[in-house]
């Protein structure tokens, strides 16, 4: 299976008891400690979710991107932000706004990037038309909205806008994740290809119509996507497979090591706090989920297996403490 690598990561979860063991993969500094073998640590954290997304954009795009797009999503509506994962083909940054307001930090970043075009993902219920009007003059081709009547149709509309010509853009597989929670879709986006959302027991028609590729990869266990949905007749004769673990952290770890990837950078996003995790939706990399108190053992092991040169952590130590590995 050919897997294209990218990111958009994050999740949710429960706190667990932690050991004081320091993992080889983690130290709360921006560089490897002297005498300790392992990846360097870069932490990107702002005062809120909007500034954290800007810090990610600045890290990924130290110079302006005048020939590319910038994607705008709601900082409070995660389904539309996940839909934006599909725009990694064309967008260089994903930034967050409020329903009726563009935070100043976001506005400054858009002006710094000088994009050719701005894409706003989500309907007027999550991003008001006044926001689109404000953004329109900031790009030569203006600001354009992509939206559907619900999260499934919005995601399908984004897929249709990006993956419109399979003969021009070979598509090996599509990724199917639950639209009822955000961790699996966020980490599953790293598999590349079209990302579509589904209900647990019903595959929306919007996803069926937007289906692309020769195969379907379901991300998450049967508690997230039933076998009936994954094997839905209307998906045709595509090959079907599933990547899932007993929880969001294990699923993210399995996605990360799928196809034996060769990666230099791994991103850590919160599995408990979606606002900080949303900042990962504009990243093109492997994303693993972590907890506020400690790094889950399965995440630590996946990082060791991947052996990256660098770990980029989203959020401050209170959101993602990388100095401890959880006991379980």
- Residue 1: predicted pLDDT: 40
Higher-pLDDT residue of 30 and 322 is 322
How far, in Å, are 148, 163, 198, 229, 253 from residue 173 at the CA level?
A: 23, 12, 16, 16, 20
> CB 4: neighbour CB atoms within 10 A?
15
Integer angstrom CA distances of residue 113 from 39, 62, 71, 88, 230: 29, 9, 12, 16, 40
**Residue 57, SS3 per DSSP:** helix
Instruction: Determine the pLDDT at residue 120.
Output: 97
pLDDT over 70 at 67, yes or no: yes
CB atoms under 10 Å from CB of 244, counted, come to: 19
Cα torsion at 42, 48, 51, 55 (round to 10°)? 10
Q: Is the pLDDT of residue 8 over 70?
A: no
| 79-115: pLDDT as tens digits | 888 888 888 777 889 999 999 999 999 999 999 999 9
- pLDDT of residue 301 exceeding 90: yes
Backbone angles phi, psi at 257, to 5 degrees: -95, 5
pLDDT in tens, 241-292: 999 999 999 999 999 998 777 889 999 999 998 877 777 877 778 999 999 9
What are the residue ranges spanned by the domains of the chain?
A: 40-314
Using alpha carbons only, give the angle 244, 249, 253 rounded to the nearest 5 degrees.
65
């Amino acid at each position: 299976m050919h897997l294209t690598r990218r990111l958009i990561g994050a999740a949710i979860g429960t706190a667990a008891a932690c050991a004081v063991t320091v993992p080889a993969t983690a130290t709360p500094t921006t560089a490897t400690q002297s005498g300790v073998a392992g990846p360097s640590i870069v932490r990107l954290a702002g005062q809120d979710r909007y500034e954290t997304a800007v810090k990610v954009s600045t890290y990924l795009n130290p110079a302006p991107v005048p020939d590319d797009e910038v994607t705008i999503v709601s900082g409070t509506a995660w389904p539309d932000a996940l839909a934006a994962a599909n725009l990694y083909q064309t967008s260089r940054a994903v930034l967050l706004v409020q329903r009726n307001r563009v935070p100043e930090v976001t506005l400054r970043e858009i002006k710094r990037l000088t994009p050719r075009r701005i894409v706003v993902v989500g309907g007027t219920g999550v991003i008001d038309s006044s926001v689109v009007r404000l953004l329109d003059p900031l790009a030569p081709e203006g600001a354009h909205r992509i939206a559907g009547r619900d999260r499934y149709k919005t995601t399908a509309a984004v897929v249709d806008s990006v993956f419109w010509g399979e003969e021009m853009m070979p598509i090996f597989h599509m990724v199917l994740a639950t639209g009822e929670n955000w961790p699996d879709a966020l980490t599953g986006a790293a598999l590349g290809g079209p990302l579509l959302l589904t209900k647990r027991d019903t595959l929306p028609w919007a996803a069926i119509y937007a289906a692309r590729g020769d195969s379907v990869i379901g991300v998450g266990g049967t508690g997230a996507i039933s076998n009936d949905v994954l094997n839905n007749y209307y998906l045709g004769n595509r090959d079907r497979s599933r990547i899932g673990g007993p929880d969001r952290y294990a699923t993210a770890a399995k996605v990360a090591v799928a196809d034996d990837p060769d990666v230099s950078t791994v991103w850590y996003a919160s599995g408990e706090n979606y606002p900080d995790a949303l900042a990962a939706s504009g990243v093109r990399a492997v994303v693993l989920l972590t907890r506020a108190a400690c790094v889950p053992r399965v995440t630590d092991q996946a990082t060791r297996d991947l052996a990256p040169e660098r770990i980029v952590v989203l959020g401050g130590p209170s959101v993602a403490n990388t100095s401890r590995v959880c006991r379980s």
